[in-house]
Amino acid sequence: MSSCVPLPLSPFQRLGRLITGVEPGLPPIDVSVGEPRHPVPSFVGPVLSAALADFVRYPPIKGTPAFRAAVAGWAERRFGLPAGTIDRDDGVLPLNGSREGLFHATLTAVRLAGATKGSRPAILLPNPFYAVYAAAAEAAGAEPVLVAASRKDGFLPRFERLPADLLARTVAAFHASPANPQGAVADLERLQGLVSLARQYGFLLFSDECYSEIWRGRAPDGVLSAALSGGGFQGVVAFNSLSKRSNLAGARCGFAIGDPAFLKAWAGLRNVTAPQVPMPIQAVAVAALADEAHVLENRRLYDLKYAVAQEILGDRFPDLVPPGGFFLWLDVGRWGGGEDVTARLWKEKGVKVVPGGYLSATDADGINPGGDFIRIAMVESLETSREALSRLSEVLS
């Protein structure tokens, strides 16, 4: 555990510094950024065209009724919730991408907590972590507390092991399933335990589920199911978006679902601070959430690439293929560690990956849980992915 998290450069700024001035050994292949590159769904253009006139209007901060109904209906179908369970008025908020939502939700959580959590409220983060979690905690004036999500714990943080006095001053906890970068998935029992812990100590549980539709084998459980089994959505907010599910990262359209009381208060603050989602983009979301065919095709393409990864690297990494997400999280400690392998891979083979240590922070024991790892985004075409992984295999040989 670490309770002092200086805000570093972004992982990609650090990566740029590592390889600046180094000529790639072969024509470059960039698999460092988790930017989906599968085709945009065919219905997007016609939907946008039909809604063009709405670009002249300021969008309502709470979104259109059609958007809220589409999000709520999709979540109920996806996570097996009874129809009508999600409040269509106050239980859904559109976000200008989930990242800004995660940031602004933290500001609201700390603001609403006031002095009830003491002079230095805490925000819990997994380690490795999505950089916006730490940035949001710092901006809100809270203490970011990192909890290692290591192999021995299934790459999931164990918040329940934290001291009771720390949990008592916790305002919110970030939890991601499937996790970025490890692809670990929390089962329903694990999620129910997190919900119970949050309610016991009176903090919000922010569940980052942006990779929920990219999985192999079995669809991941969601925090909304876990919350409802415990009586309702109080204190629980799930975050998701169109970026990964529908290959629409550039649309900047996400959504938050959950505790109506918190979302209603958050909407009030968002009304004067946050960007709205344009109504034509909301119309695209309505269409995207009603269609599962493109999502099935998306998963099929990722499955093909993971099969190639298993073929090329499976003999070196027995737990190569994660249950969720679209990354490879490879322990390259025996080849010198994440930063060293990243530098060699670029210099010798022209492949750009991210050192795992750039996605993590060093804890109080002086250990960076990502230091031995590299992250590879499986976002390129099948042919390009095969070439990138083959080059990696040569470096590791």
User: Six-digit token pair at 316?
Assistant: 């070196």
Above 70 in pLDDT, residue 44?
yes
pLDDT of residue 8: 57
User: Across residues 132-151, what is the average pLDDT?
Assistant: 95
Mean pLDDT of the chain: 96
Give dist(CA 134, CA 146) in Å, integer.
9
Which residue has tokens 């569940």?
207
Above 80 in pLDDT, residue 4?
no
pLDDT of residue 364: 81
pLDDT of residue 1: 57
pLDDT, one tens digit per residue, over 311-346 is: 999 999 989 999 999 999 999 999 999 999 999 999
For residue 164, what are the contacts with CB-CB under 8 A and spacing of at least 6?
201
- How far is the CA of 142 from the CAs of 114, 161, 183, in angstroms? 11, 20, 27
What pTM does this model have? 0.96
What is the dotted CATH code of the domain comprising 56-289? 3.40.640.10
Q: How many alpha carbons fall within 13 Å on the CB side of residue 149?
A: 31
pLDDT bucket at 365, cuts 50 / 70 / 90: confident
pLDDT of residue 246: 98
Above 80 in pLDDT, residue 7?
no
pLDDT bucket at 197, cuts 50 / 70 / 90: very high
pLDDT bucket at 363, cuts 50 / 70 / 90: confident
pLDDT of residue 224: 98
pLDDT, one tens digit per residue, over 340-362 is: 999 999 999 999 999 999 999 99
Give dist(CA 37, CA 97) in Å, integer.
17
pLDDT of residue 129: 95
DSSP secondary structure letter of residue 324: B
Reported CATH class of domain 11-39+294-396: alpha beta
Above 70 in pLDDT, residue 297?
yes
Element (H, E) at 93: strand 92-95
The C-alpha R_g of the chain, in whole angstroms, comes to 21
User: Six-digit token pair at 70?
Assistant: 């589409």
Percentage of the chain with pLDDT > 70? Answer: 98
User: Domain segments of the chain: what residues?
Assistant: 11-39+294-396, 56-289
pLDDT of residue 139: 95
Residue type, 251: A
Percentage of the chain with pLDDT > 90? Answer: 94
pLDDT, one tens digit per residue, over 225-246 is: 999 998 999 999 999 999 999 9
